[in-house]
Amino acid sequence: MQKRSLGKTGLSVSEIAFGGVEIGMPYGIGIKDKRDMLTPQAAERLLHSALDSGINLFDTARLYGDSESLMGKAFNDRREQVVLATKCTHFLGNDGQIPPYDALKKIIATSLEESLKALRTDYVDIYMLHQSDHGIPENEDVQQIFSELKQSGQIRATGLSVYHLDETSQALEAGCWDVIQLPFNLMDQRQSTLFKMAEHLGVGLIVRSVLLKGLLSDRGKNLHPALREVETHIEKYQQLLSPSFPDLPTLATKFALSFPEVSAVLVGIDRPEYLAKTLRAADDHYLDEARLSNAMALQYPDPTFLDLPQWDRLGWLT
């Protein structure tokens, strides 16, 4: 497993990051409840296997069910070998506004304390805002609180998880965030317009949604009728497959890793076979210029339609 520098954080991270939401709560296409999930014992074995295979970056969040506690138990005696990234709980009020400074600081500090306890550690390598909506990255109170946590040594790097291009732009322009986790994949390539800017500023990029919540895999078939055009478009990627890119998940993973500005590709892993396939894809042999150009030309024509949280709310992914 190759490693890349995570911006200017001083952290060296594996090209593949282990996405921990699936082991902590029901998530993804076809996963309805805990009966469809790994047992805690199996999840711990999977985490150990990932670490032993060269993955050192593990992503979780306060809102990912049992994910933090599972990682805490699995890595209790291996803490120095892993880079742990977690996210604070949401803090916007019912009115959609950021709370006053004192209340905000208490919410974030309490969330971090709970994460540290669950993870069985006294520091987090990367502490992120979760689903950083418009206006949050540039809020001075939020910036100050995260800066103070970094100065205290409780976190090593600050970060945020975004959905939209304007949020990434805000975060970069703010000049105080060390890491940005953002969505990027074959279908939706909008974020790539800011990759060079992030590299210039020394901001580490962790890419998620490379498989579009499983749609860029065998699960991307027989979808809800509202997603018929999406399913038809996914079929077009078959023309890019070859012995070196034997299936869609491999192609999708290698596509994201073909961008040198990307520090790590976050993959949701909840089965040993998914881990094995992901490891095979991260072989340091990615898309050449011609194949990359062809892949970029096949982005979905209306990426604004690719709103997976909205699809979830509408029941299109069940």
State the pLDDT at residue 98.
87
Low-confidence ranges of the chain (pLDDT < 50): none
Report how many helices (DSSP H) and strands (DSSP E) the chain contains, helices first: 12, 10
Return d(Cα 163, Cα 309) in angstroms, integer.
10
Q: What is the pLDDT of residues 245-258, one digit of tens each?
A: 999 999 999 999 99
Residue 179: count of CB within 10 angstroms of its CB: 28
CATH number, domain of 47, equals 3.20.20.100
As given in the structure block, the two tokens for residue 80 are 């120095």
State the pLDDT at residue 30.
66
State how many domains the chain has. Answer: 1
CA separation, residue 261 to residues 120, 164, 191, 197, 213 (Å): 32, 18, 12, 9, 22
Return d(Cα 185, Cα 195) in angstroms, integer.
13
Measure the CA dihedral 67/71/72/76, to 10°.
170
Q: What is the phi/psi pair of residue 206, to 5°?
A: -110, 120
Residue 219: count of CB within 10 angstroms of its CB: 17
Domain assignment of residue 318, yes or no:
no
Domain assignment of residue 124, yes or no:
yes
- The answer for 214, left when phi > 0, alpha when psi is -120 to 50, beta otherwise, is left
Provide the sign of the torsion angle of the four alpha carbons 250, 253, 256, 258, taken in this order.
negative
Domain assignment of residue 19, yes or no:
yes
pTM above 0.85, yes or no: yes
As given in the structure block, the two tokens for residue 67 are 């994910």
As given in the structure block, the two tokens for residue 37 are 């999930």
Domain assignment of residue 265, yes or no:
yes
Domain assignment of residue 211, yes or no:
yes
Range of the domain at 168: 3-313
CA separation, residue 163 to residues 100, 296, 313 (Å): 24, 20, 16
Return d(Cα 186, Cα 157) in angstroms, integer.
29
Look-up of token digits 């990615």: 286
Domain assignment of residue 32, yes or no:
yes
